[in-house]
Structure formats: structure tokens, C-alpha cells
Amino acid sequence: MVRDILTYPHPLLRTPTKKVQVIDREIEELVRDMFETMYQADGVGLAANQIGVSLSVMVMDTTPKKEAPPVKLVLINPEVVSQEGSISYKEGCLSFPGLTVEVERFNKLQVRALNLRGEEVHYTLEGFPAVVFQHEMDHLMGITFVDRVKGLKRRMALERYSKLQKQRV
């Protein structure tokens, strides 16, 4: 089922999520809905709190972008194990429709999480998939991509977003 995506400044986007305690049918349904919602919105990543569920669950599928080998993942209670290098990428966000901002991220990550079977999984993500992971991980921690830029750049991004919102109404 496609769910509504919360848009900034909804308070849930600023609230850190809770760890998943049990992976059950509800979590499986949540993940299915997250993929459907993400694909419907033409996104490459989605965090559960973006659809109003305050749990540490993210999905990502970089297949639509031809920039890197495709990565399609379900990550429950994800954690960064190590990070290195840096990459600057012009990011967009389903919770900030129409806005893009140049963000500095780590280029390579080692991450661990649980999969839908409750098994611990480990991944090495590099380049675009690493950017998507960090973007969604930020959501799970109550951080938005606009928070990753400072000063005038941040103020200008928020002003652009405000104008975009007024045009959408």
C-alpha cells in the first residue's frame, strides 16, 4: 500500500526513531509499503519515519540511477561500522519535494543491520549507495539533509523550499 510521505517541517522528521524489537508480519508489511511508496514517489531511499512510523527501518534501491552498481536493501536497526573518504553529491529528498542541496558525505561505509529474517547482515557501500544510506540514516536519527549544510547555504535552501511549498498549494 502506498502511504503518504511526511514533508518538512513535520515533527516526526526531527524525532529519532526507536529500534525494532521484533521482526514480525507488521514489519514485513511496513517494508512492503515503504518500497511501494518509494517507487511511487520515484525515490531511491526511504526511512520509516518519513511515512509516520517511528521505527529504525530503511529501504533503498539505487537501480533507477545508473551511476553505480545497483543496490537494493532492507535495513533494520542499521549502524555504521566504519566510514572513510568524502564525496559531494547534489541530494534531493521525498520529504522536501523539489529541493536539491549539495551535501558532503563519506564516500565509503561499512554498515551492519538486520534483514527481514532477523539475521545480522554487513555491507560495504561506496559512492552513490553510500550517500543514499547516509541520507536515510540521518532521517532515522531525526536529521534532515538540510541540517548537513550550514550558514548562508542552509538559509538559502530553506528559503527555496519555502517558495516551492507556496507554489505547490
The CATH number of the domain where 113 resides is what?
3.90.45.10
For every residue of 29-56, DSSP letters joined together read HHHHHHHHHHHHTT-SEEEGGGGT--BS
34 lies in a domain? yes
pLDDT in tens, 148-161: 999 999 999 999 99
6 lies in a domain? no
**Which residues contact residue 50 at a Cβ distance below 8 angstroms, ignoring those fewer than 6 apart?**
5, 6, 13, 94, 95, 139
Which residue range forms the structural domain that includes residue 57? Answer: 11-168
151 lies in a domain? yes
From first CA to last CA, the distance across the chain in angstroms is 25
Q: Which of 6, 3, 161 is nearest to 91 (CA)?
A: 161
26 lies in a domain? yes
pLDDT in tens, 72-129: 999 999 999 999 999 999 999 999 999 999 999 999 999 999 999 999 999 999 999 9
3 lies in a domain? no
**What pTM, to 2 d.p., does this model score?**
0.95
Q: Is the alpha carbon torsion for 68, 107, 98, 72 positive or negative? A: positive
Computed over every residue of the chain, the mean pLDDT equals 95
Does 29 participate in catalysis according to the annotation? no
**DSSP three-state, residue 127:** coil
Candidate list 28, 91, 120, 136, residue with the active-site label: 136
- If you average pLDDT over residues 130-147, what whole number do you get? 97
2 lies in a domain? no
| Number of domains making up the chain | 1
